[in-house]
Amino acid sequence: DAGVIQSPRHEVTEMGQEVTLRCKPISGHDYLFWYRQTMMRGLELLIYFNNNVPIDDSGMPEDRFSAKMPNASFSTLKIQPSEPRDSAVYFCASSRKGEYSGNTIYFGEGSWLTVV
Amino acid sequence: DQQVKQNSPSLSVQEGRISILNCDYTNSMFDYFLWYKKYPAEGPTFLISISSIKDKNEDGRFTVFLNKSAKHLSLHIVPSQPGDSAVYFCAFADTGNQFYFGTGTSLTVIP
């Protein structure tokens, strides 16, 4: 079975440019999470969706960040305009509704973003 | 506010010895507790978990301990192996299926 698929794996962009990160969750999973990994805050939850609906976006750092989930198999995280402090690894993860077990949250391999 | 704290950013242990990783939390509504392991250039993967009704769960070389009164979670690895070298994140789940992660502890097992 395919896991959570993220693209691009690596992105280097100039400050001020728009960045779009993509995610395909595991089929049948109806929760989707976007995390950002930083040294200071570890794995920081940015936003999560349930059945394609954003449930909690309180972790989104500012208006430059936006996320969408147009259907059950695709989500995007967009940064516009990007800034050097946005440089981090962004992880997408998915899980199955009603299953509380931790082993049902699966992560993608991450998108490494560098803003210069 | 950080609801989850891993106060040791790094830990070095000799091969064959015990590795103990610790985590503290503040939210008493958490009722499921997990450890994830992360190798460089990979996403975190699930390692072991424990529900709030237990105080210990064991899986091979890995044991997780939960002290609810102290709001403290720990992971013991015995014996430690070089392949265990990775970053370990503790995580907590609330009733809304939201997962909160710590900042991670980088474990190095020295051969």
Inter-chain residue contact B93 with A110, CB threshold 8 Å: no
- Cα–Cα distance for residue pair B28/B34, rounded to 1 Å: 15
Judged on CB neighbours under 10 Å (0-12, 13-18, 19+), A82 is buried
Share of residues in chain A with pLDDT > 70 (%): 92
- Is the pLDDT score of B66 beyond 60? yes
Determine the distance in angstroms separating the CA of A103 from the nearest CA of chain B, rounded to an integer. Answer: 6
Give pLDDT, residue B2.
65
Q: Compute the average pLDDT of residues B28-40.
A: 89
A25 interfacial to chain B (CB closer than 8 Å): no
- Is the pLDDT score of B104 beyond 80? yes
Q: Do B107 and B11 meet the contact criterion of CB atoms below 8 Å apart?
A: yes
Give pLDDT, residue B65.
97
- Is the pLDDT score of A1 beyond 90? no
User: Nearest chain A Cα to B102, which residue?
Assistant: A42
Tell which of B39, B50, B99 to mutate to test the A interface (max A CBs under 10 Å).
B99
Which residues, including other chains, have CB under 8 Å from residue B38's CB and lie 6 or more apart?
A: B44, B45, B86, B87, B88, B89, B104
User: Nearest chain B Cα to A57, which residue?
Assistant: B98
Q: Compute the average pLDDT of residues B32-60.
A: 92
- Is the pLDDT score of B88 beyond 70? yes
Q: What's the mean pLDDT when you consider all of chain B?
A: 92
B104 interfacial to chain A (CB closer than 8 Å): yes
Q: What is the pLDDT of residues A41-90, one digit of tens each?
A: 888 999 999 999 999 899 998 899 999 999 999 999 999 999 999 999 99
Determine the distance in angstroms separating the CA of A27 from the nearest CA of chain B, rounded to an integer. Answer: 18
Give pLDDT, residue B79.
98
Residue B61 has a CB neighbour count (10 Å cut-off) of 14
A56: nearest CB among B49, B98, B102: B98
Q: What's the mean pLDDT when you consider all of chain A?
A: 91
Helix (H) or strand (E) holding A68: strand A65-71
Tell which of B48, B57, B62, B97 to mutate to test the A interface (max A CBs under 10 Å).
B97
